Each structure stands twice: as structure tokens, then as C-alpha cells.
A and B are shown apart, each in its own frame.
Chain A
Amino acid sequence: MSHRSPPLAWLLDWLRRDRRAALSLAFLLLLVLVSLAAPWIAPHSPTEQDLANTLAVPGAEHWLGTDDLGRDIFSRLLYGARVAIYASTLSVAIAVLLGVPVGILAGYLGGWVDTLVSRMIDTFLAFPAIVLAIAVTGALGIGLTNGMIAVGIVFAPQLARIARARTLVVRQELYVDAARCFGASTRHILWRHVLPNSLQPVIVQVTILLAAALLAEASLSFLGLGIQAPDPSWGAMLARAYQSMEMSPDQMYAPGLAILATALAFNSLGEALRKELDPTNSRL
């Protein structure tokens, strides 16, 4: 990132130029707002059942209809957004907190530390994410928070590897040598020089991991391992839609499209960021 123009100005300039980035960011901001405001804007309680009015078609009372237990789908969608945001940000936050420091240390210190850490990263990367998440959930206990912690642990090696690669480049830079000549401690160098300059690829990867975390939460909830009844989540709504697929195939559209749109937004943002932060970009 350039040190010449202040971040906010850069951000606004970028959004003006790149429409895809603007749309994705706007959608995600809207999602965050909606999930924060859910208790106020949801027309019904997400768990209140109306067993006399199940699988209803969309209408004035229920904008997206009702599910197999007569619950308002629109309200469940809004509350599900909270779970989606919470789940994605929790797991990615854990991935960042675990992966980035490990990667930077490995890259900067080199030697046996690097070798050990790299082999551990390789081991973790060999596991399919969902399988590892299920195993960790089995050890920690079933539930949304534990499930997303597991997903975070699974994602950390990816970030570690990216941070390490970037650090290997940054530590060769002249300003790092200069700082060392001036007697700066390792900790100072890492915090003040290496970390800020290693963040670009990490930021891009974070947006992509947010999408993956969302899908992981949906999969875990679909399997009954994530969110527990009766709390709504998009994945759990999909699982129920699958169950009543024969009687009402339309149930799957709302949660399915919500997951699709959100994952797409995260990925689009990531793509746009990657292009913008590319070191060969002449603008920087």
C-alpha cells in the first residue's frame, strides 16, 4: 500500500474506479447493517411457529413465505445473516491471529524455526477442511462457536504460508537493513517494518477466506454440527429445505441465494483488492 495518499482517500478513489469492488462492498456493508438491525427490522420472531400455516407461499403476511413449521422465512433469513457474519469473522479472525504471526516469524527467523513451521503447515494443508473441522468439533463439542474455531484453525496455515512468503521478500529490503544498522530490535523491525509491508496479500486472502468460512458454516450446519436448533442459520435452513424438497421445492431459494450472493460478494471484493494491491500496478 502506498504511503503517499491517506488510506481513506485511496479507498474512495478506488471505489469510484472499480464498480465491482463498490458493489461488493456495498452489499457486504448492507449485510452487516441488516444483521445488526435484525431484531428491529424482522417482521416476525425467527423461531415462532405457526403449525397451521406451514410451507405457505410468499404473501403480505410473510414476504418470503413460511417454512415446514410455519416460521417466517424472511425473518429467519435476517437472523441467519447475523450467524453468517459472526461465523465468518470469528473463524477468519482466529486464522489471522494464529497464522500471520507464525508465518512472519518463520519467514524472518529462517533456519530450523522455518523448517519446523513449514512442515507443520504442510501437514495441516493436507487435510480437507471440513474433515478437520468435524474432528476438532468432535473434540471440543458440537456448537457454532466451536465449529468456527475449528474452521479458523484449518484456515490459519494458508495465511501463515502467505505471510511467510511475503516476509521472505520484505526482509531483504534496504530499509530493514538500515533499521538493523541503527540497532533496532527484532521485535521493533517485525512490528514496524515487516508486518505493515506483508499485509497486502494477507488482506486479499482474508476476503477469500471469508467466503470459504461462510460456506464451511453452511456445510457444518447442514450436517447438524454447527448451529443448534432452533437458532436459524442459512445452512440449517438449507438442510430443512432439502428435507421438505418433495412437498415444497421453493424452500431452498431464499437461503441458497443468500449464501450464493454473500460468498460472491466476498470473492469479488477479494479479486478487486488483489488487482488493486498488485505491486506491479503503476498507481501505487
Chain B
Amino acid sequence: MPRHDNPPSSASSLTRRRLLQASSTLPFWSLDAFAQAAGGTGVLRIAAPHNPSTLDPMTGRSGPDHAYLYALFDTLVEWDYVALTPLPGLAESWTYTDPNTLVLKLRSGVKFHDGEPFDAEAVKANLDWGRGNEKSSVKIDLASIDSIEVRGPLEVALKLKTSDRALPLILSDRAGMMRSPKAVREKGADHDRSPVGSGAYKFVSWADKDQVVMTRNPDYWKPGMAKLEGIVFKVIPEPQTALRSVIAGDNDFTYYVPPQQRPVAERSGKMVIDVGPSLQIGMLYFNYARGPLKDLKVRQAVNLAIDRPTYMKATAGGLGEVADMALPKPHWAYAPELAGFYKYDPEKAKALLKEAGLADGVEIHLIAWNDQLSVQRTEVLIEMLKKANIRLKVTTGSGVDTAGQFFGKQEGDMHLSAWTGRPDPSLTYELLFAEGSFFNAGRGATPGMADALAAAKTGTTLDERKKAFVKVQRLAVENALSGPLMFDVQMVVHSNRVKGYRPNLIGKPKLLGVSLA
């Protein structure tokens, strides 16, 4: 008699078994394998320590945005990674036909991500927007341009008010990042959140404070440089967590790693650690238009009261470089004659305060960030300044909030923050100390500064500009317009699957040519 309650026939059980066997090989058919077949080499997952402020280069001011921007946009001029000397970018070449005219010859065959052509009209549209639009954050960068003339489909002439030799390198930063004019026109304010550039990677999505997703630009004009299938930036503001996510394999790459985390990365034994110099400087911004810091003697006292080498040792394990001015030693415009201008001397600081009529000391309102590393730096400064009779009243907030408070609303006397650096030193000094600049919290003028900045901008040779920069920096340092502390090292940690990453002196990662093995 047939037994109807038997297990299924041998035919179907073999099928089920076969199915199980086949599924066990599924891991080998990974996303990467498919991606390889499609021409890319996988999706790079980055643990990003900052959420972008905006993804439109010309409306943002936050240094850490660049990691995102460099992937989405090209610049008219590029730079050498080691020395920051200018190189051709979207502009194949440029010449000063006369001291006040800069002619750019543009590269042909470049398209924006929305298919629009990159041409002279696009350059004019972008630069005019940057000069005049009320939302533009690059007005000062482009302030020397009087008018822009389209001379041919791939030739643009910039007519300048004054001879500005800093323009080429200025056009290697935000002001030179070319956006699709059609997209900017049509999207309006939305372009901040869904940008269209011409870079190696195209924007896909941005979940605020969560992640930014980009995909490969298959029509990228630098052959073979867009090697990744896509990039996902996962926003992880806590640096320890970010690093650990890379060590654990949840992410492949992280940057702006604090020096204290180096032992963690080293102990894992399988990470690639990249430590190098950067332009990023930790500094005290002063509001010298009002309040206790209006007095030069008080500003100088603050500078004299800080023991910079000890500060660096305590807060960065000694990794980095002590800062006397806004440029580090390797930079071509560094002024060695100003090194060590304010040597640590708390007694002299006290004496200066007494001269200023503040024998009992002075109270200064410091606005600082509230993450643990910043709290540590704040505590070191509180104690150091206390020895010179300077009492700090501290209020804290997030990076974005405190920047808005100090620079925007002009609250507080002093702000402990960082300057991420600019490709051309003219930009740095103008943005920090020029009258009316956003990062000059008091918005006031320093006698002689405008002329010195102009001279640095118009020198026709690097040597001429270098001499002019000595004057600029002397004015900034002797007038104690700020309290420079130290230059950070830039540390990048990535898995050994990531190939082709090269660090640059700016310290903001560029992912061109990076691939996943």
C-alpha cells in the first residue's frame, strides 16, 4: 500500500537541497562583483565627521564641506597636492594680458551632471552669481573682478578693478567650483540640497545629519579618475565612533581623525594611517571692535599668556606645529622673521594688563565648542590665562551654532575655533582681517591692512607677493588681531582595500583616483 504521508518525492527534495547549496554561494555574488562587471569598483563608505552646511559651494562657509564638494565639483584651477602651486583644471590655461585682465582658456567637451555644457557662458554665469547674489559666500574672494567678458565659446576675460594675482588660486576653491547655471536658476534655494556640478561623482541624495550618497559620473572628463561605483558619506560626528566603524569594517575611510586616536588605529593592525601637515590652524578669534579685546595691550597679553608648546602637547599629544601666524612653516608665504613673536611670558602679560589700567585682571567671554576635545582645550586655556589674571567666562555650543553666535550675531569677545585654510594666502588674510569680512567679528579696519593686502594681491611674481605677505602678517601679529595656537596634523585612516588616496597640504580629502580593491 502506498504511504501518502511520505516526505516529498526525491525530485523536489533534490531541488530544495540544490537551492540551499546554490544560496550558500551567494556571498560571492556580492554587490562589488556586479559593480566590477558594470565598470566601477564598489561603493566607498566614508565615516564623515561633519554634516555639510550646504552642498552648494557658493553658499557655504564651512571648511569641512570640502570633502563633499571636491567629489561633486571641478574647479577652474587646481593645485599640486604637495606644494599647492597652481595647475590647470577646468581652465586649461590662463594669462594676464595686462595687469588688470585675466584671460581663461577653458577645456572643451566637459558636461555638467545634468547634461548642460560647460562653456564660457557657464563660467560667466557662475562668477557673476558669486559676485552679486545675496546668498553668495564668495563675494570677498571675487571682489577684485569688475566685469566678465565672454570672448568665445571657451574663452573668458575677467576685467579686474585692481591687479589681483591671487585670483588663479582663488579659483581653485569655492569661487572656482563650477555649478550648472541651469540647475542653479531652476532649483533656486533647493540647489543647496541637491547640487549639480561636473565632478567625478554625481549627487544622489542627502538625508540631513545622516548620509550623503553619490554615484559615479560615467562621462567624467578625466579619463579613469572616477573609479568608484559610488560614495556614501555616513555622518558620524563622534570621532571615536567614526574610527571604530572603519576598523570594524562598517566603513572604509575616515578623515579629520584626532591625534589621540592614533593608538587605536595602529593597534588594529590592518588600517592604513596617513599623517601629514595641513593648513588647518586652531586659533582664538578676537572681536577687537569692542569689549576688553578692543585694547591692544589686552590682546597682546592673551597671546603672551599662552604656552603654545605645552598646549600642543596636552591637547594633541605633541602632534602638529606651533602657530605664530596663520600660515605653517612649509608654506611659501610663511614669514620666518615673525616666528616666536609672542614668547610665553605670563608676567609680561600681567604687566601689560596693569599698563592698560587692569591691575586686577580682566574677564573675557569665550565662546567654545562643546565636544570633549574642545572642552579639554578650553580647560587648558582657562588655567593658562588665569595665571596672567585673565578670567575666562565660557559658554559653549555646537560648531555651527557658535560660529553663528560669534561671527554672525557678533556675541562674545573671543572664540576658540579653527581656520581650515585657503589655497591662496590672500584669501586667508582677507577673510580673517579685512574690514567687513564675516570672519572679522568686529568688522573693523586695521590701519595699513587694506594697503598691505592689496600689495600682496598685486605682486606679479611669487617673490614680490612673498615680501608683501611679510607686511600683512606683521600687521596681524603686531596688532595681535587673533591668538594663533597650533596647526593640526591631518590624519586619514582607511582600510587596505582603499587604493590610490593621496593627501594634500590643504588637509581636506580629495577622492579623485581612489578605488576599492
Taken together as a complex, chains A and B put the C-alpha atoms of A69 and B383 apart, in Å, by: 10
B396, A49: Cβ atoms closer than 8 Å: no
Taken together as a complex, chains A and B put the C-alpha atoms of A224 and B368 apart, in Å, by: 12
Least CB separation from B373: chain A residue: A243
B383, A229: Cβ atoms closer than 8 Å: no
Taken together as a complex, chains A and B put the C-alpha atoms of A246 and B239 apart, in Å, by: 13
Instruction: Give the distance to chain A from B260, nearest Cβ to Cβ, in Å.
Output: 7
Taken together as a complex, chains A and B put the C-alpha atoms of A68 and B383 apart, in Å, by: 14
Taken together as a complex, chains A and B put the C-alpha atoms of A242 and B373 apart, in Å, by: 11
Q: Which residues of A contact B395 (CB under 8 A)?
A: 142
A54, B314: Cβ atoms closer than 8 Å: yes
Taken together as a complex, chains A and B put the C-alpha atoms of A230 and B383 apart, in Å, by: 9
Instruction: Give the distance to chain A from B261, nearest Cβ to Cβ, in Å.
Output: 7
Q: Is the interface of B mostly helix, strand, loop or mixed?
A: helix
Q: Which residues of B contact A245 (CB under 8 A)?
A: 240
B383, A224: Cβ atoms closer than 8 Å: no
A211-263 interface (Cβ within 8 A of B): 224, 228-230, 239-240, 242-247
B264, A246: Cβ atoms closer than 8 Å: yes
A246 and B378 in contact (CB under 8 A), knowing A228-B394, A230-B383? no
Say yes or no: is A47 at the interface (Cβ < 8 Å to chain B): yes
> Interface extent on A, as a size class?
20 to 34
Taken together as a complex, chains A and B put the C-alpha atoms of A243 and B372 apart, in Å, by: 7
A246, B382: Cβ atoms closer than 8 Å: no
Q: Which residues of A contact B370 (CB under 8 A)?
A: 142, 224
A224, B314: Cβ atoms closer than 8 Å: no
A246 and B260 in contact (CB under 8 A), knowing A229-B375, A230-B379, A230-B383? yes
Task: Select which of A68, A224, A239, A246 is within 8 A of B263 by beta carbon.
Answer: A246
Say yes or no: is A48 at the interface (Cβ < 8 Å to chain B): yes
B314, A69: Cβ atoms closer than 8 Å: yes
A47, B394: Cβ atoms closer than 8 Å: no
Instruction: Give the distance to chain A from B305, nearest Cβ to Cβ, in Å.
Output: 14
Instruction: Give the distance to chain B from A20, nearest Cβ to Cβ, in Å.
Output: 37
Taken together as a complex, chains A and B put the C-alpha atoms of A49 and B379 apart, in Å, by: 9
A240, B376: Cβ atoms closer than 8 Å: yes
B263, A247: Cβ atoms closer than 8 Å: yes
Say yes or no: is B209 at the interface (Cβ < 8 Å to chain A): no
Say yes or no: is B313 at the interface (Cβ < 8 Å to chain A): yes
Taken together as a complex, chains A and B put the C-alpha atoms of A68 and B314 apart, in Å, by: 8
Taken together as a complex, chains A and B put the C-alpha atoms of A245 and B263 apart, in Å, by: 10
A49, B383: Cβ atoms closer than 8 Å: yes
Instruction: Give the distance to chain A from B247, nearest Cβ to Cβ, in Å.
Output: 12
Say yes or no: is A33 at the interface (Cβ < 8 Å to chain B): no
A48 and B264 in contact (CB under 8 A), knowing A69-B376, A228-B394? no
Least CB separation from A230: chain B residue: B379
Say yes or no: is A51 at the interface (Cβ < 8 Å to chain B): yes
Say yes or no: is B371 at the interface (Cβ < 8 Å to chain A): yes
Say yes or no: is B87 at the interface (Cβ < 8 Å to chain A): no
A224 and B261 in contact (CB under 8 A), knowing A51-B314, A142-B396, A230-B383? no
Task: Select which of B240, B310, B371, B379 is within 8 A of A224 by beta carbon.
Answer: B371
Chain A 44-71, CB-CB to B under 8 Å as 1, else 0, gives 0001110110100000000000001100
Q: Which of A48, A68, A142, A244 has the most CB of B within 10 A?
A: A68
Q: Which residues of B contact A54 (CB under 8 A)?
A: 314
B378, A229: Cβ atoms closer than 8 Å: yes
Q: Which residues of B contact A51 (CB under 8 A)?
A: 310, 313-314, 380
Chain B interface (Cβ < 8 Å from any Cβ of A): 240, 260-261, 263-264, 310, 313-314, 370-373, 375-376, 378-380, 382-383, 394-396
Closest 4 CB pairs of A and B: A224-B370, A243-B372, A230-B379, A51-B314
Of the A-B pairs whose beta carbons lie under 8 Å apart in the complex, a sample of 10, sorted by A's number, is A49-B314, A49-B383, A51-B380, A69-B376, A229-B379, A229-B394, A240-B376, A243-B260, A243-B372, A246-B264
If A47-B382, A243-B372 are given as contacts, then 7 extra A-B residue pairs at C-beta distance below 8 Å, sorted by A number, are: A48-B383, A51-B380, A142-B395, A224-B371, A224-B372, A240-B372, A240-B375
